[in-house]
Structure 1
Amino acid sequence: MSTPLRGILKAHQSSLSVAHRLLDLTVIVLGGACQARFNGMALTAEAWTQILLAVLVFHWLGECHQLYGSWRGERIGRELLKVLNYWALTFAVLLSADYLLLNHTGVRDHAQLAWFATVLLALCGYRLGIRSLLQGLRSQGFNIRRVAVVGTGHCSERLARSIESAPWMGLDLLGFYDDQPQQMDLARIGRRVPVLGGLDQLLIDARKGRIDKVYITLSLDSQTRLGQLIRGLSDTTASVYVIPDVFMFELLHARSESINGLPSISIFDSPMDGAWSMVKRAEDIVLSSIILTMIALPLLLIAATIKLTSPGPVLFRQRRYGLDGRPIMVWKFRSMSVQENDKRVTQATRNDARITPLGALLRRTSLDELPQFFNVLRGEMSIVGPRPHAVAHNEQYRKQVAGYMLRHKVKPGITGWAQINGWRGETDTLDKMRKRVEFDLQYIEHWSVWLDMKIILLTLFKGFVNKNAF
């Protein structure tokens, strides 16, 4: 295959990005117009207002969250998930505007749902088609990028495996460059990837146009060497990327951020930032309001029964850590004859003498936690999130479990990813707490509204009654 064809799309990347935006907006407009015509409705000013609002909201979300960046190195599932999230948020805005501002006269309900489904299928469908087309072109040698990796450490090895395991990216790994090459286990790659020489040889090959992309995986303590290499590569036409070895650590929702033009990379961060925190809060307010309305009578019955069967208050309030480690008072139905809220708190155990007979039933069925929906409504907790622990337990385990306090990058929840996977109840061993923290951090890293809905549904089926709840 001749060299000019290898990067046939490279020179047109900006034009393709613009075309991609225009195609999305065209799909939304045509979808709305066609659904109105199909349902025998005139395109009134209000209907066009809805369509225009959809265009603006979807475009804004796409621009703010990098929907139109390069997806060469990402799997199609992540792109489609972004499309689904942004179109669903756009449609939620449309419905709110329709009921609150347009008096629900623009488009009928079934037509709105048909528009939502049609546009979603079109947005996802044409992306799948483009991916298939690009994959076919790349299999024929078109749109291929020749890449080189600087370094032969663990980060380089992991990068090489990622490139070789995903041929759909269209990256041709030429080899490694390192002045002091190390032994690497690349057996799983399936082919021998050579060390082509040192850094001087890299500069020679790059200047001759043999390399399209250079990935530098040198450690952070090699700043002098790194600076010299980057200055040398500035005299070439190769695209240069630096992969810091901090990415070899377990990162929590890592992302890039600009500080007055200075780029930075977050290592530990929360996914519920900016607009997403508003989405999470709206989710909590709507769901907790509905649930509290449904359980109002059971709450009153449980409260009366507690008052009649044992001395003491109906509610137990315990000081726990909330968002960013700030203290909150978590409400529960009292299930014990004591109310421990000091620097030393003893976890409940099986056949614990402190638990009242009614308290045993409440704890076994998780009904003792129902008052926490008021904590959610007050903004102190979320319906889904890491379960809050007593302050005494936080202070104990933060010294023993790596990453323990990262659980507090989000609001604590009534139910969570750890709980539906069986990690609830007494943590009588350090390994149990480590597993709970591991699942909590997985939730934070992969949070989405759809994951919250999944956890809530699973809680209904297997989260209330559990062998570990006592």
Structure 2
Amino acid sequence: MHTVIRQPTGREFADMESAVARLLDVMLIGLGTTLASWLWLPEPGRAIVEASFVAFDMALAILLLPWFGVYDSWRGRSKWHLSVRIVIGWLAVQVCGLAVMFLLHRTASLSRLWCVSWTALTAGGLVTSRLLVHAALGRMRRAGRNLRTVAVMGAGKHRDGVIANLTASPQAGFRAVAIFHTAGGGETTVHGLPGFWSFGEFADWVRREQVDEIWLALPMSEQDMLLRVLAEFSGDLVNLRFLPDVRGLVMFDRHVVDLLGSPAINLVASPMTPYSLLQKALFDRVFAAAVLVALAPLMLAIAVAVKVTSKGPVLFTQRRKGANGRVFRIFKFRSMRAHAQKAGVVRQATRRDPRVTRVGAFLRRTSLDELPQFLNVLRGEMSVVGPRPHAIEHDDQYRTIVDGYIHRYRIKPGITGWAQVNGFRGETDRIEKMQRRVEHDLYYLRNWSFALDMRIVVATVVKGLMNRNAY
């Protein structure tokens, strides 16, 4: 075993950066209270109490904010997640500070407007300062400074993809410097980087060049190589990172989560985080309420038209499956004449279907028959955007013959979706049509973002209301 005691390149800079960040945060807390006091001039008797509150929070920030990981290295990690952690950490500091003031019986002396203003201004300042610092670091790293050198171990497309990501993200602060080939081939240079075939030579080179990190881009079957690397570098201050090749196994993501204290890789699990679901749910309720209020006159006119032109109820309801397979009743404006239907059999609408009324044909063609589904969204049974729900009988038919069909149940079904804005609407008279629709649904699940939802909503309004496949 080789033992080399050294300080990796950039470690002193990281320690200094963390210390400066802590000092800056304390200063921003003080600046925030100054601005809040300027906006809401404190009464003479409150100034001393508020100053005590600020002093408590400064001390608490030094103690509590590190617990939220805001001073860890965020090199190559999401700055959005960093911003969220900063805000949550600051709110925790404020709650603890208020608890201290409550125990001292001083909360009644605090100005609520001042307190809220201070909290908001400081949160904005903390996030903005951190984003500006990382933007400056990104420019510095693109210029070739403050970089961590990386040697990549692996073979094939997965290794090449890791190196490509490194090369394409210079602002992250990593630079690939060498490759150790773990599979066959005779190349000595790949991507312009020196390559090694002998593990001993590779280990000696890493120590001689004082490489900061080794990334193991290996399949999960390469346990022997993983253990060999861990044993070889156990006495070195070099970071070892395992980037497992799970592309052939993972359905939605490859995030590592903490499960009862152990790291776990999601192979098949819900593709959306609790925060994403909350964000989506809040948008759904607000958007649905706004649509129902804004379009209430139109929906009333449609209801009257449906009622006076054909016999039967205004609304058509049908059992559908929602998130996690839970059954609910979907609402639509009735577009067909009342007709007998065999139990367990659902006949899809076809072109020039005699069951469709004249008003119903217009409603289906313009998708206005779907408007009552905003009630389902408001009730929490559906989402504005998501995979379109099918009749339960069709679910039972397709889930065994269409690859990935079952995963449509992982989130709430939607009024519109990625498949619909890409032309996959209407009758699915062939298995191939349903397979293509499901492929688009799975793409949406894998690539969900709030921006993608907004894109689909806009596309639905612009081009999705009138569709030649809707009949």
| Superposition TM-score tier, normalisation by shorter sequence | 0.7 to 0.9
Contact 1:332 1:368 in 2 (8 A): yes
Give the aligned partner of residue 390 of structure 1.
391
Question: What is the match of residue 459 of structure 1?
Answer: 460
* 8 Å CA contact 1:178, 1:199 repeated in 2: no
Give the structure, 1 or 2, with the largest relative contact order (CA under 8 Å, sep 6 or more). 2
**SS in structure 1 of the partner of residue 361 of structure 2:** helix
Partners in 1 of 2:388 and 2:295 — Cα distance? 21
Deviation at 1:22, TM superposition (A): 6.2
Deviations 1:195-230 (A, max 9, x none): 212333333334546322111122222223332332
1:241 aligned counterpart, secondary structure: strand
Partner of 2:256: 256
CA RMSD in angstroms comes to 4.5
Change (3 A) 1:182 1:259: same
Q: Is the 8 A contact 2:330 2:376 kept in 1?
A: yes
Please report the TM-score for the alignment, with normalisation by the length of structure 2: 0.76
CA contact (8 A) 2:177 2:193 kept: yes
Relative to structure 1, the CA distance from residue 226 to residue 419 in structure 2 (aligned partners, 3 Å threshold; closer, same or farther) is: same
Partner of 1:314: 314
Say whether residues 1:214 and 2:214 are aligned partners: yes
In 1, Cα distance between the equivalents of 2:194 and 2:467?
54
Partners of 2:139 and 2:294 in 1: CA distance: 51
Correspondent of 1:172 among 154, 172, 175: 175
Deviation, structure 1 residue 245 = 1.1
Distance 2:147 2:137 in 1: 13
**Residue 99 of structure 1: aligned partner:** none
1:412 positional shift: 0.9
Match in the other structure for 1:241: 241
Following superposition, the deviation at residue 339 of structure 1 comes to: 7.2
The CA distance in 2 between the partners of 1:143 and 1:415, in whole Å, is 46
The 8 Å contact of residues 318 and 390 in structure 1, kept in 2 or not, is answered as yes
Cα distance in 2 for residues equivalent to 1:231 and 1:387:
52
The alpha carbon displacement at 1:323 in A equals 0.5
Measure the CA separation in 1 of the matches of 2:298 and 2:328.
Answer: 25
Q: 1:253·1:444 contact (CA, 8 Å) conserved in 2?
A: no
Counterparts of 2:341 and 2:82 in 1: how far apart (Å)?
Answer: 45
Q: Report the alpha carbon displacement of residue 71 of structure 1 after superposing the two structures with TM.
A: 3.5
Gaps of at least 5 residues in structure 1 are 95-101
Deviation at 1:29, TM superposition (A): 6.2
Deviates more, 1:429-438 or 1:151-160: 429-438
Q: How many residues matched? A: 441
Q: Deviations over 1:97-129 (max 9, x none)?
A: xxxxx9xx9559xx97x9979975884465245
Which residue of structure 2 lines up, in the alignment, with residue 161 of structure 1? 164
Partner of 1:192: 192
Identity, % of aligned positions: 35
Offset, 1:181: 3.0
Which residue identity does 2:373 align to in structure 1? Q
Kept in 2: contact 1:334–1:359 (CA 8 A): yes
For residue 269 of structure 1, report the CA deviation from its aligned partner.
3.4
Question: 1-side partners of 2:85 and 2:328: how far apart?
Answer: 31
Give the aligned partner of residue 98 of structure 1.
Answer: none
Tell me which residue corresponds to 1:97.
none
Deviation at 1:262, TM superposition (A): 0.9
* 1:246 counterpart SS class: coil
Q: Identify the range of structure 1 (344-353 vs 145-154) with the bigger mean alpha-carbon deviation.
A: 344-353
Contact 1:344 1:392 in 2 (8 A): yes
Query: 1:127 maps to which residue?
Result: 131
Other-structure match for 2:412: 411
Partner of 1:245: helix, strand, or coil? coil
Q: Residue type of the partner of 1:175?
A: A
SS of match in other structure, 2:193: coil
Aligned pair in 2 of structure 1 residues 62, 211: CA closer, same or farther (>3 Å)?
closer
Answer yes or no: is 1:139 the counterpart of 2:140: no
SS of 2:75's equivalent in the other structure is: coil
Q: Which residue of the partner structure matches residue 403 of structure 2?
A: 402
Letter in 2 for 1:143: N
